Amino acid sequence: MKQPILLSTPHIGEQELKFVQEAFDTNWIAPVGPHIDAFEQEFSQVVGTKYAAALSSGTAALHLALKLAGVTAGDEVFCSTFTFIASISPITYLGAKPVFIDSDRTSWNMDPNLLATTLAQKDRIGKLPKAVVLVHLYGQSADIEPILQECDRYGIPLIEDAAEALGATYKNTSPGTWGRAGIFSFNGNKIITTSGGGMLVSGDRELISQAKFLATQARDPQPHYEHTEIGFNYRLSNVSAGIGRGQLMVLKERVAARRRNFAFYQETLGDLPGIEFMPEADFGTSTRWLSCLTFDPDVGGIDREQVRLKLLAHQIETRPVWKPMHLQPVFSNCECANNGIAEDLFHKGLCLPSGSNLTDEELERVTTKIRELYNK
């Protein structure tokens, strides 16, 4: 029996183990240590930011970024609707309310024009958001510049959720480095992993200093344990940071492998009717973290679910693209500036196996099974 083909698995090399062994040999088995400091410095250099805090997850990083932006109970925070719930949950941790902004076709990310219209409407009634959370989806940057201009127009901090976009570019820079703060994720399915972890970055030294303070239970600088505010247990471990250092060394290779996967799918399936691949916006390069495409049954006679179930029957894991947050039951009472694009993408979109460790044989298994549906 052939082995299952999974959506996106960790891809670990030899250098990671050396760093982990070093942590064991030196007994730095704690959320403090030399690998953490080095990982923060090396990561900052890779993405082109000044300061970074290694944390337990991308969600933790976003939580701290929102808290340090001054978001409190009763505030509104604008955010992308086409995303994973972890982009939104930290807003609710603080008692604030998300307002969802739909996508554009160019990048599948937040529509800058729709954001501008919604901000103008909120300004007229004196109810501007406390922050804007901009998600960079599936390895592709949003069009950051016009979004940042709108945020600056109203004095609203921009927080970038680049959890899915490490290694991408926007106008020859890294997404996640334009706003007041940016967050990245090292979950096991991401382009590099620390098994679980995240990074908060900023050009603001004080913001990162405060984030590290809050992430270590907000312990005041006293010989005893003293606390004047509530903090969190959000720091990354030194062992996990060692894994991250090794993974960071092969980031370019991991991006190249995922782009190769996408190119193979596009070349092999691009002639089939009703199939469209996620576009690559001309303002940057995508990592193709996940290879995404849509199936239009009105054109090709095959819908997304037929493809998903066909592949599942042959032990090939796929996943529908994100269900928009404004369609989630838990957010049924939240506002959404809706142009219908995220909903359309959800109904038609599928993520194919995309790991950087996929073999040619595995890629061919995927495409062969899809083509069988069209050759009946």
Residues in CB range of 100: below 8 A, 6 or more apart? 78, 79, 80, 81, 324, 325, 326, 331, 334, 335, 336, 337, 338
Mean pLDDT (whole number) for 364-371: 98
Best CA proximity match to 65, nearest among 200, 172, 191: 200
In this structure, the answer to whether residues 58 and 74 fall within a common structural domain is yes
Residues in CB range of 302: below 8 A, 6 or more apart? 274, 295, 373, 374
Q: Looking at residue 275, which CATH number applies to its domain?
A: 3.90.1150.10
Check: CB of residue 59 under 8 Å from CB of residue 266.
Answer: no
Last residue of a domain, one of 201, 232, 248: 248
In this structure, the answer to whether residues 273 and 240 fall within a common structural domain is no
Q: Identify whether 9 is part of a domain.
A: no
Angle between the N-to-C axes of helices 238-248 and 34-47, in degrees from 0 to 180, rounded to the nearest 10: 30
168: three-class secondary structure by DSSP: coil
Q: Identify whether 63 is part of a domain.
A: yes
Neighbour count for residue 293 (Cβ, 10 Å): 23
In this structure, the answer to whether residues 300 and 166 fall within a common structural domain is no
Check: CB of residue 109 under 8 Å from CB of residue 164.
Answer: no
Q: Considering the chain, what percentage of its residues have pLDDT values greater than 70?
A: 100
Beta pairing, strands 131-135 & 76-80 = parallel
Last residue of a domain, one of 184, 213, 248: 248
The pLDDT of residue 375: 86
* Mean pLDDT (the chain, rounded): 97
Could you report the per-residue pLDDT of 268-298, keeping only the tens digit for each? Answer: 999 999 999 999 999 999 999 999 999 999 9
Q: Domain count of the chain?
A: 2
Last residue of a domain, one of 248, 280, 302: 248
Could you report the per-residue pLDDT of 109-137, keeping only the tens digit for each? Answer: 999 999 999 999 999 999 999 999 999 99
The pLDDT of residue 12: 94
Q: Identify whether 86 is part of a domain.
A: yes
Residues in CB range of 65: below 8 A, 6 or more apart? 159, 180, 181, 183, 200, 211
In this structure, the answer to whether residues 94 and 214 fall within a common structural domain is yes
Could you report the per-residue pLDDT of 155-194, keeping only the tens digit for each? Answer: 999 999 999 999 999 999 999 999 999 999 999 999 999 9
Could you report the per-residue pLDDT of 62-103, keeping only the tens digit for each? Answer: 999 999 999 999 999 999 999 999 999 999 999 999 999 999
Residue ranges in the chain assigned as alpha helix (H): 14-25, 34-47, 58-68, 89-93, 112-124, 144-154, 205-215, 238-248, 251-269, 297-300, 304-313, 341-348, 360-374
Q: Identify whether 5 is part of a domain.
A: no
Structural domain harbouring 327? 251-374
In this structure, the answer to whether residues 350 and 210 fall within a common structural domain is no
The pLDDT of residue 1: 67
The pLDDT of residue 376: 72
